[in-house]
Each structure stands twice: as C-alpha cells, then as structure tokens.
Amino acid sequence: MFKFWQRNGKDLGVDLGTANTRIYTTEKGITIDEPTVVAVNTKTEQILAVGDEAKQMLGKTPPHILVTRPLQHGIISDYEVAEKLLRYFIDKVHDGGLSMLSRPRVIVGVPLNVTEVEAKAVEDAIIGAGAREVFIVQEPILAAIGGRMPIEDPVGNLLVDIGAGKTEIAVISLHGIVTWKSTPIAGEEMNKNIVQYAREVFNLFVGEAHAEYIKMKVGALVAGGEILQIPMRGRDVMSGLPKEVIITDAHIREALDRSVRTIIDHIKMTLEVTPPELTADIHERGMLLTGGGALISGLDRLIAQATDIPVRIADDPLSAVVRGTAVLLENSVLLHLVRLPSARQSIRS
C-alpha cells in the first residue's frame, strides 16, 4: 500500500523549521526551501505572501500588513497561519492543487520537548493543509538519519542540531534517544545578541536580518591570522539618523560568547547523564553538528576543545532533517521503528 501511494501521489518529507520550511518529494528531491514567514492583511485577513516574498517584507510594511512567523522555537504558535503556509507549499509541490488520489502521506519532524497537544497541532495543520496521513518523527532522529549516522546500531551517536529557534543535543542508539537536552539558545538568539551588542557598544539600532547577515559573514568564533571586517548599518540611538560603523570578527565573538558557552554547557550536561558505554563510543566516534548554526565558522573547533571529543559538520547541515525524511519515505520499516504515536488518536481516545 505504501508503494502504491508513492506512485500515485507525491508523498512528502517536511522540515517545518522556525526560520525555514523544506519539503522533499520522492520525484524531485527538495522542491521547497523557503522562509517560514507569512504576510497577512489584518484588515481583510487575507494572506498576501508566503516564504521568500513574505520575508522580503519584514520591517518594511504599513501598520495593516503583519509579517509573522507561525513557529516559535520549533513549535506552532499560530495554528491558522501555519496551516495556510503548509497548504500554500503543498499546493505548490502539487502544481497548484490536490485531488483525492494525490493527497500525500507526510513525514514531519517535531522538537524533542514537544507536548502531545503541540504534536497534535502539527498533525492537524498538515491534515488541514491537504495531507492524507501524517507520520511524526523527532527532529534529531531525522537529522541523524540525514547525516548518515548508524542509529540502528548498539553504539552511541551524539548529535547537536543548532537551528534557528532551538538547539537540541541527543544521544541516539538502537533507533531511539537515550539522553537529551534542549535550549532556546540558537540562531535567532545569536542574532538578537548582535542587535543588543550594536546598541550597547555602538549606540546603533540594527535589524535582526542585518545582524544575521553579519553573523554569517564575519562570525568567526576562533581568531585567525586575518581580521575580518564588515560595515554595520542602522539608526543612531541618539540622533535617529542613519549611521554606519565598521565591525570585526572580534566584536562578533564578544557578542556571541554567552550563547556559545550556553550551547557548550548543554552538550556537557548531556554527556554527564549518558551511560558510560555510550560515552566511550562517542569519545571514539565523535559528534555530528547539523542545522544552520553548524555553519558558523569555528564553532566545531570550540566544541571539540571544550569537550575533548572530535566534531564533524554534516554535509549540507541545513538540509539534514529533510534528507532524513527522504530516507524514511523509501524505508517503511525504519519509519515504523522511529515514528511517534499519533497525538490525534491519543488525545481522541
């Protein structure tokens, strides 16, 4: 039956992230990779834009246009907007609409600390967006599968997934999570760190999108031989006029220091409660970094120095979760082993 629906409908793997949504189809691979952002006209309740187009409106709209992110820290915070965003993307995958025969089965990831009610909200939103059936899997499991970790073996696999709204650390063995920690300190918090630093040190108001751009350009967490510089543009706190200052990678290291130390502390806390046999495996095999935070220069070296454990960055760490769904779309046996029970059925019963 599973293969039948793969032939007649476009079954989907969905990475519903705080910052970006990615959708994989068995026919075309990753077909959607757009911001999890929606622009709404509050006068008419009409959806004006979704994804890339909506993100371009951030900070530039009149009062009656609200640009919103329907997920916070990986959890749906605005159910109606999330459902409309998903419907838009699913319709886009299916070239404008669904028929009864083409309604997809969907694999979607959820955070480790998701509640039953929050998981049900994800299922309901995807069913409401046109799916036939939903399979929920914990995101670190998906990221580990996408990063080619042997999660089915009786060995310790340590995964650190640094997304936009959360950082999740998980020790995985025999298809399941043995120990884990989660913190909201992640990519978006780092952007806010830079915004706050600019205000306190340079008396400059900057937007979070500009802060993120600077983070990725000169955010080297380990000092190198060359000093990296970039102009930071915003509004002067005192005069209210446009202002530009030149900042360096040293400024960004100082701005991000507290957040980076918090992530490293959570990795250490996870290791402290990991069974010794699995800790020995991890020390020998190392850990895997996934998510957008893995791309910050020098973070892998800082973590390795602090934990004395080898660290490697996944190939294309941004797409690790959705690539994990791709594997499960082709492997129904593994999907059965790692999926969570349906929250819709649990709450109904």
**What confidence category does residue 7 fall into, taking pLDDT thresholds of 50, 70 and 90?**
very low
Does 129 belong to an annotated binding site?
Answer: no
* 223-259 tens-digit pLDDT: 887 899 999 999 999 999 999 999 999 999 999 999 9
* 29-50 tens-digit pLDDT: 999 999 999 999 999 988 999 9
Interatomic CA distance for residues 51 and 59, integer angstroms: 15
The pair of structure tokens assigned to 66 is 């609200």
Q: What is the mean pLDDT of residues 107-111?
A: 96
Fold designation for 151-314: Nucleotidyltransferase; domain 5 (3.30.420)
Interatomic CA distance for residues 287 and 314, integer angstroms: 10
DSSP 340: B
Does 215 belong to an annotated binding site?
Answer: yes
**What confidence category does residue 27 fall into, taking pLDDT thresholds of 50, 70 and 90?**
confident
DSSP 319: G
Interatomic CA distance for residues 18 and 37, integer angstroms: 9
* 288-297 tens-digit pLDDT: 999 999 999 9
- Whether residue 347 is predicted with pLDDT greater than 80 in this model: the reply is no
Does 292 belong to an annotated binding site?
Answer: yes
Q: What is the mean pLDDT of residues 305-309?
A: 96
Q: Which CATH class is domain 2-142+320-348?
A: alpha beta
Please measure the distance between the N-terminal and C-terminal CA atoms of the chain and give it in whole angstroms: 26
- Whether residue 8 is predicted with pLDDT greater than 90 in this model: the reply is no
- Which residue's entry shows tokens 């008396």? 203
Does 212 belong to an annotated binding site?
Answer: yes
Q: What is the domain partition of the chain in residue ranges?
A: 2-142+320-348, 151-314
Interatomic CA distance for residues 42 and 35, integer angstroms: 20
**pTM for the structure as a whole:** 0.91
Q: How many CB atoms lie within 10 A of CB 34?
A: 19
- Which residue's entry shows tokens 């006029």? 241
Name the least confident of 152-156, 235-239, 261-265, 340-344.
340-344
Q: Of 137, 134, 133, give the one whose Cα is nearest residue 146.
A: 137
- Whether residue 346 is predicted with pLDDT greater than 80 in this model: the reply is no
Predicted confidence at residue 6, as pLDDT, reads: 45
- Which residue's entry shows tokens 């400059």? 204
Q: What is the mean pLDDT of residues 114-141?
A: 95
Interatomic CA distance for residues 84 and 35, integer angstroms: 14
- Whether residue 64 is predicted with pLDDT greater than 50 in this model: the reply is yes
- Whether residue 99 is predicted with pLDDT greater than 60 in this model: the reply is no
Name the least confident of 7-21, 47-61, 132-146, 300-314.
7-21
Which residues have a Cβ under 8 Å from the Cβ of 95 and sit 6 or more positions away?
none
- Which residue's entry shows tokens 């010794």? 276
The pair of structure tokens assigned to 114 is 């998701």
Predicted confidence at residue 94, as pLDDT, reads: 81
Does 42 belong to an annotated binding site?
Answer: no
Average pLDDT, the chain: 92
CB contact at 8 A, 61 and 39: yes
Does 289 belong to an annotated binding site?
Answer: no
**Do the first three CATH levels of 2-142+320-348 and 151-314 match, i.e. the same topology?**
yes
The region, left, alpha or beta by phi > 0 then psi within -120 to 50, assigned to residue 274 is beta
DSSP 190-223: HHHHHHHHHHHHH-EE--HHHHHHHHHHH--SS-
Q: How many CB atoms lie within 10 A of CB 120?
A: 19
Q: What is the mean pLDDT of residues 180-195?
A: 97
Question: For the chain, what percent of residues have pLDDT higher than 70?
Answer: 94
Q: What is the mean pLDDT of residues 262-290?
A: 97
Interatomic CA distance for residues 16 and 4, integer angstroms: 26
Cα 335 to chain center, whole Å? 21
